[in-house]
Every structure is written in C-alpha cells, then in structure tokens.
Amino acid sequence: MKTKTLGQRLSGLPKHVVLLGVCLIWIVPTIGLLVTSFRPAQAVTDSGWWTVFNPPRGKADYQTFCAGCHGENGDAIPSANLSDPALISEFKRSIQLQAVLHKEFNGQPHMGDVPYPNDQQTADILAYLRVLSGIQRTQQFTLDNYIDALVGYRGSGTYTQDCAAGTQSVDLKCDFFDLANPRGMARAFLNSLIVAIPATIIPIFIAAFAAYAFAWLHFPLRLWMFALLVGLQVVPLQMTLIPISRLYASLDMNGTFLAVWLFHTGFGLPYAIYLQRNFLGSLPRELFESAYLDGATHWTAFWRLAVPLAMPAIASLAIFQFLWVWNDLLVALVFLGGEHPVLTYQISNMVTSLGSGWQVLTAAAFLSMLLPMIIFFSLQRYFVRGLLAGSVKG
C-alpha cells in the first residue's frame, strides 16, 4: 500500500463532501425528532430543537458584563451574591436590574469601566441569573412525553403532574394498569406485536410448502403458475380492499386480529414463495437426490433438508414481512381501525386530529420506530440480503 499524496487526497475531497453532506441531510430530521421527544412541552413550542445545543440564554452576556467581578458562578462578591435566590428574586423585571447597574456603589460606578449592556442584553442576563440562582428550574430534558404517550394521556399538563395533583381524567388510575389504556401507545405497541408476529409466521410457513413444490416437485404448468405468481406480486392492495371488507363484514370479522393476519398472509405469499423457491432451487440437486436414494420421502426431505437449509432466506423474509406488517397503515386502518389500534393507526390519528402537541407526537413516533430500528441495525445483513433476494447465495 503506498500512501496517498496530498494531491490525491484533495482530489477525493469533493466526493467526501457530497457523501457526508447527504448523510447529514439524511440523519438530521431523525435527530430533530429524537431530541424533541425528550424536551418539555413548553420548550418545544418556544424554541427549535437545535437550541438545546446552544449555551443557555444570556450566558454569553453574563460572561461579558458580569463575570469579571461576580465570577463565573456569581458568588465572587459575598455582599452581592448573584447565586442567592433571595437577592435575584427582588428583580422582577429587567428594568430594575438596569437601574441597579446605573447606581453607584461606594462612590464608584457599578460597572466601572465595563460598558453597560443594552436592554435586550440586560433581559437576557436577568433570565440567566434566574437560572443561575435556581429560581427558575430549567429542565432541559424529560421523560414525561414518553410516559404521556405510553398511557395515552391527553390534557394540558403531563400525566405525572395530573396524577400528583389528583386531577387525572376518569379513565386513568395513576398506577401500572394505565399502560393498558386503549388510547395509549403501550397498548398499541402490544397490538402491533399481536398483529405482526402471526402475520409474519403464517405466510412464511405456508409459503415454504409451496416453494418446495415449485422447486423440487413435478406437476403440470409449474413454470406457468410460477410466472403467474411473479405477476401477483404487483397487484396493488387497493385492488382487493373493497371485496375483502365486504367479505369480512358478512362474516362479522372486521376489527378482528384474524382478519388482518389472513389479509397479510394473502398478500405476503407471492413474494414469500418466490424468494424461498429461488433459494431452495439453488441448492445442489445431488443433496436431494442422495436423500431420496437413502429412502427419504418428500415430507422428510422438506423438514430435515429444505427448511433447515433455507433458514437464511427465511430470516431475510421474516424481517421483511415483519417490518412491512409493523409499518403498515392502510390494512390496519381498514380492517382493525379503532377496535384494536396499532401504532401506525394511533400516530396517524394523533397527526390528523392535531389533538396532541409535538412533544407527545414525536415520542409516540419514536416508540413506533424503536423496534424496526433495533431490527434494522442488528440484522442489517439479512435485511439487505432479503432486498437482493437470491442474487447472493445464502
């Protein structure tokens, strides 16, 4: 390996600038969501989330005009201890502070040869002094939004405040059971799991049989049927919603988990069969031949040979199907609705009804992304593999 010359490094620079720029644009919106979800409601409406990275308001001005004599912490002059809440609470408005600044102390101007701060700066300094003396608690981050989201709190304060004051709404009990509140995200999270897990396992399981048949069994019109399957993958969901709604309505199945499991199974099958068939078909035929020569039936070959060997493909498929179901809004909206609200349904309701503030909405959104993100970052390999479906062996 020869080291790069400066010229070579520089010629690669635009590439890195573009690449890192794109990465930045991609990540910043998500960071904004995450930061906001931890900020108190008031702070969210008062200032942009990026201000949490700024020093507190007035700190710079304090350092310019005051810290020279009063010290960084305000306690350098004992007779005028700025960190004393009793002293600072005397200044209700910044004009009072302004007046003191213009007074003389021991025959000397207050500020000495330091210039006077203007009105805005004085106000900022006072705001900072309130924080410094501890009169105003500046809580930068809080978990309240997540608690509110989980229990489905809707009110002007926070769940913790209301429960402490005993003014919570009637459907909240202020104990552990609030997590089961049907309006809450905790319940929605559970519902999403109840929907997604069977809706992942059932289609993959059924597809495995069909895929085995397409790969290793002989029957008429095999290729023709498989081509049809490829076509079925493109049929849009919308094409089937109406008749299935009507069917479910006549069977009184709307709003049941079974309805959603079956629907997702139907729609997951073409892809699940396609992927597994391609994978099974790529296994060496000698493997199967020798199994049969040893007296294995198709049934044992399927369970003992095909399924274990197809595990990598099944893993990719499972991730894809799980995320698809977990993230789906349309099917949940149509067949589950408010009966068993899932995460996407709850969030879309919160967005469109504008009932809750950004702080709870961002917390709820982040809760819904938690599991997909964990799956994505820990199983990214399988995720990408599922996407490239069969172009790489294994």
Partner 1 sequence: MVPADAAKVPRPRVKMNTTTVPKVMQQGAITPWLYLLPAIVIMFIFIVYPAANTFYLSFRNSTNTDWASAACVPAEPCWGILENYRYALTSEIMRIAFFNNLMWIVIMVSATVALGLLIAVLADRVRYEPWAKALIFMPMAISFVGAGVIWKFVYDYRPGSDQIGLLNAIVVALGGQPIPWLTVPFVNILALNVVGIWVWTGFCMTILAAAVKGVPSELLEAGRLDGAGELQLFRHITVPIIMPTIAVVVTTMVINVLKIFDIVYVMTGGNYGTQVIANQMYIEQYTNFQTGRAAAIAVVLIAVILPAMYFNIRRFREQEATR
DSSP bridge pairs for 109: 104
Q: Which is nearer to partner 1, 27 or 99 (CB)?
A: 27
Q: Which is nearer to partner 1, 23 or 69 (CB)?
A: 23
Least distance (Å) between residue 25 CB and partner 1 = 8
DSSP bridge pairs for 108: 105
Task: Give CA–CA dist 149/155, Å, rounded.
Answer: 11
Q: Which is nearer to partner 1, 62 or 274 (CB)?
A: 274
Longest dimension (CA), the chain: 111
Q: Which is nearer to partner 1, 103 or 393 (CB)?
A: 393
For residue 327, what are the contacts with CB-CB under 8 A and spacing of at least 6? Answer: 344, 372
Burial class (CB in 10 A: 0-12, 13-18, 19+), 149: buried
Helix, coil or strand: residue 109 = strand
H helix or E strand, kind and range, residue 242: helix 238-251
User: Which tokens sit at 119?
Assistant: 């009105």
Least distance (Å) between residue 101 CB and partner 1 = 28
How many Cα atoms are found within 13 Å in the side-chain-facing hemisphere of 316?
Answer: 24
φ, ψ (nearest 5 deg) of residue 105: -120, 125
Q: Which is nearer to partner 1, 129 or 199 (CB)?
A: 199
Task: Give CA–CA dist 388/80, Å, rounded.
Answer: 70
Least distance (Å) between residue 125 CB and partner 1 = 21
- Please report, for residues 121, 151, 192, 350, the alpha-carbon distance to residue 187 in angstroms, rounded to integers and kept in the order given: 49, 8, 9, 15
Q: Which is nearer to partner 1, 70 or 264 (CB)?
A: 264
**C-beta of residue 342 within 8 angstroms of C-beta of residue 183:** no
Least distance (Å) between residue 153 CB and partner 1 = 18
Angle made by CA atoms 235, 237, 313, in degrees to the nearest 5 = 70
Least distance (Å) between residue 20 CB and partner 1 = 8
Least distance (Å) between residue 173 CB and partner 1 = 29
Q: Which is nearer to partner 1, 69 or 227 (CB)?
A: 227
Least distance (Å) between residue 166 CB and partner 1 = 32
Q: Which is nearer to partner 1, 101 or 333 (CB)?
A: 333
H helix or E strand, kind and range, residue 385: helix 380-388
Least distance (Å) between residue 222 CB and partner 1 = 8
